[in-house]
Structure 1
Amino acid sequence: MKDDRLLEMRVYQAVVATGAFTAAAHSLGVSQPFVSQTIQRLEKRLGVKLMHRTTRGHRLTPDGERFLDVARRVLDAVEAAESDWQISDAQVDGLLRVSVPIAFGLDRITSVIPGFLERHPKLSLEMRLTDDSERLIDDQIDVAIRMGTLSDSSLMHRRLCGLQRIVVATPALVARHGLPTRPADLAAFPCLAWDGGRAHLNRWRFIEDGKDVIFQAESRFRSNQGMSLYQMCLVGMGAMRAAEHLARPAIADGRLVQLLPDHTALDDTAIYAVFLPDRHMVPRIRSFIDFMVDTFRSPDWEATGPSS
């Protein structure tokens, strides 16, 4: 008995992912009529309409949304079931979608991706750089790199490394405004601040006389994007509370200096790889997460040591 149910699921998933029958056919290496006929057979067998098709694309029906979720789970389960028979890195294949914060992605992730892809020649990777916390299911993300405190308890995660933020400024800015000696001195110092969903990071935490002290950073320049704040910091527009992966190398080569190092509060946060609970055994996902864990096991920015 011929059973094409898995094939139908793969074709349907490809149509949804690519947005068009022709694009799905190209990605699968089949003809456009084959894709169209497969979707028609699938809808006939299920007895429901999965998508409304127009000249401009398609829109999933409620039944189509439900079936897409089922198809993803079934196909991922098949990949997971076969993962124990993966005998070489070359057999890890498919398309991997990764979401990464902009600054960390540009500074640390992009440079290591070639090594990962070289290890897995049959794998393709799409990296989305964004400071927004994307929804893994809705945005079809396999792995997201998250920084800070995790808020979504429905996701699984693996810790990559610790995350410490420190306040830094250029030597020229310090020469103009003087070196702050206590957190309150920052009120007279130009600062840079986040906007939008990351505005909570404008609460800079310090330790003074053994107690927590919060300085609320205000700024003439605000941004919802970390790399833009860092670039403004480097040109002397203000002090910034920056992640160490950016700050430590710039301190080491003299572009920045750390402010109030004796008052720095240790952050109980980290950088994580997060993923859906039912997908951690999918070979392409597992291989990427393992690679990230190995890459950041001993972060090179920690080797620069504390600022002077």
Structure 2
Amino acid sequence: MKDDRLVEMRIFKGVAETGGFTAAAVRLGVSQPVVSRAIASLEARLGCKLLHRSTRIQRLTQEGERYLALCTRVLDMLEQAEAEMRADDPVGTLHVSAPLAFGLDQVVPCLPGFLQAYPRLSVHVSLTDAVVNLIGSHVDVAIRMGRIHDGTLVSRKLCHLHRIIVASPAYLARHGTPVTPASLESGQHNCLLWDGMHKHLNRWPLRINGRIEHFEARGNFHTDNGSTLYQMCVAGMGIMRLAEHLALPALRRGELVEILADYNVRDDSSAIHAVYLHGNRNAPRVRAFVNHCVEYFANPPWLRDTPPPAAAGAAMSRAVVEVAST
């Protein structure tokens, strides 16, 4: 349905400010009959006279003065809304989803710099290992690991993320250190396993006699939560193939030990992506956050010599972090 109310408001405001139909037509770039028809239509719809007409000047009635104030408010709000959408300084609320372990360990530390750069934004972060539906969950940007197969989403690669086979010193002291993949099948070793939709990560690509084979990890502990697997590994409960953002710092601290390094395959197809809906491609809040992540992870924190700066309390106060159980 055609709605000319905003057009009529602009024309009425032009007439009120210029004092005449002809002057308003010149300012607005329309013909004088267009102005006359708009004012007549407006007065007919409102059921009152807005202008006292004479041959030389148009003067506002009392109702016209009240309506002009309302029109000015509405048109100013419209201009402000469009200016904010076009602005380089995004405003509003940004909803982000990220995997639990990677989110806590990497996404949350990158938020202070983002919030300081865009102080008019409020960020809501949901941490879950479930693959969220961006439309149904009202998520603007999701951080995802691995290949992106959903053609309905726009994807920006942030960085590669390799996996390392590790165990704690305490575990290796009790069970010995496996020196070949065959050692894992001897029955004396326990692997920590993914459950649910991440079960494919239990197939470890290993290079054996020059060929890549997939070892089916077996063990007595399963979970759909990456943070839990990491904690169980550090606690000495088994061997796992751990993402390097957690593995490398733990190796440096001596909490974990790398094993089977000569057999482990660096999976170059594994990466971290920021994904969002095509309709949000030009949304300033989405564009700003994705660009920030691309820059932040261009040199991944786990490969740096020093850890990222601690979260700034003032900036983090505008970030709401929710941890979802899966």
Superposition deviation, residue 221 in structure 1: 1.2
CA distance in 2 between counterparts of 1:81 and 1:162 reads 38
Superposition deviation, residue 113 in structure 1: 1.0
Q: Which amino acid in structure 2 is aligned with residue 2 of structure 1?
A: R
Any idea what SS the aligned residue of 2:144 has?
Answer: strand
Instruction: Identify the match of residue 135 of structure 2 among 128, 134, 137.
Output: 137
- 1:282 corresponds in structure 2 to 283
CA distance in 1 between counterparts of 2:99 and 2:260 reads 27
Describe the shift of the 1:81–1:219 C-alpha distance in structure 2 as closer, same or farther (beyond 3 A).
Answer: farther
Normalising by structure 1, we get a TM-score of 0.70
Superposition deviation, residue 250 in structure 1: 0.3
Any idea what SS the aligned residue of 1:262 has?
Answer: coil
- 2:146 corresponds in structure 1 to 148
- 1:20 corresponds in structure 2 to none
- The 5-angstrom pairing of residues 46-65 of structure 1 reads none
- 1:292 corresponds in structure 2 to 293
Any idea what SS the aligned residue of 1:237 has?
Answer: coil
Answer with 213-222 or 229-238: which moved more. Answer: 213-222
CA distance in 1 between counterparts of 2:146 and 2:155 reads 13
Normalising by structure 2, we get a TM-score of 0.66
Tell me how many residue pairs correspond in the alignment. Answer: 228
- 2:229 corresponds in structure 1 to 229
CA distance in 2 between counterparts of 1:80 and 1:272 reads 31
**Larger RCO, structures 1/2 (Cα 8 Å, 6+ apart):** 2
Any idea what SS the aligned residue of 1:92 has?
Answer: coil
Describe the shift of the 1:83–1:173 C-alpha distance in structure 2 as closer, same or farther (beyond 3 A).
Answer: same
Superposition deviation, residue 195 in structure 1: 0.8
Give yes or no for the alignment of 1:2 onto 2:5.
Answer: yes
Any idea what SS the aligned residue of 2:136 has?
Answer: coil
Any idea what SS the aligned residue of 1:184 has?
Answer: helix
Q: Deviations over 1:72-102 (max 9, x none)?
A: xxxxxx9998689425xxx310110001000
Superposition deviation, residue 179 in structure 1: 1.4
Structure with max Cα Rg: 2
Any idea what SS the aligned residue of 1:263 has?
Answer: coil
Superposition deviation, residue 231 in structure 1: 0.5
Judge conservation of contact 1:162–1:270 (CA < 8 Å) in 2. Answer: yes
Q: Deviations over 1:265-300 (max 9, x none)?
A: 121210000011121111000000000001100113
After superposition, the CA RMSD in angstroms is 2.2
Q: Which amino acid in structure 1 is aligned with residue 194 of structure 2?
A: W
CA distance in 1 between counterparts of 2:219 and 2:178 reads 17
Judge conservation of contact 1:79–1:282 (CA < 8 Å) in 2. Answer: no
CA distance in 2 between counterparts of 1:81 and 1:155 reads 26
CA distance in 2 between counterparts of 1:266 and 1:83 reads 45
Any idea what SS the aligned residue of 2:237 has?
Answer: coil
CA distance in 2 between counterparts of 1:2 and 1:122 reads 31
- The 5-angstrom pairing of residues 45-124 of structure 1 reads 85-87=86-88, 91-124=89-122
Any idea what SS the aligned residue of 1:261 has?
Answer: coil
- 1:260 corresponds in structure 2 to 260
Unmatched segments (≥5 aa) in structure 1: 5-77
Judge conservation of contact 1:169–1:258 (CA < 8 Å) in 2. Answer: yes
Q: Deviations over 1:177-202 (max 9, x none)?
A: 11111112112311100111111111
Unmatched segments (≥5 aa) in structure 2: 8-78, 306-326
Judge conservation of contact 2:85–2:283 (CA < 8 Å) in 1. Answer: no
Give yes or no for the alignment of 1:164 onto 2:162.
Answer: yes
**Which runs of structure 1 show a deviation greater than 2 angstroms over 4 or more consecutive aligned residues?**
1-4, 78-87
Superposition deviation, residue 2 in structure 1: 3.1
Matched-pair identity in %: 44
Answer with 207-216 or 94-103: which moved more. Answer: 207-216
Describe the shift of the 1:79–1:155 C-alpha distance in structure 2 as closer, same or farther (beyond 3 A).
Answer: farther
Q: Deviations over 1:235-278 (max 9, x none)?
A: 10011111000000000111101110011112121000001112
Describe the shift of the 1:133–1:79 C-alpha distance in structure 2 as closer, same or farther (beyond 3 A).
Answer: farther
CA distance in 1 between counterparts of 2:205 and 2:165 reads 10
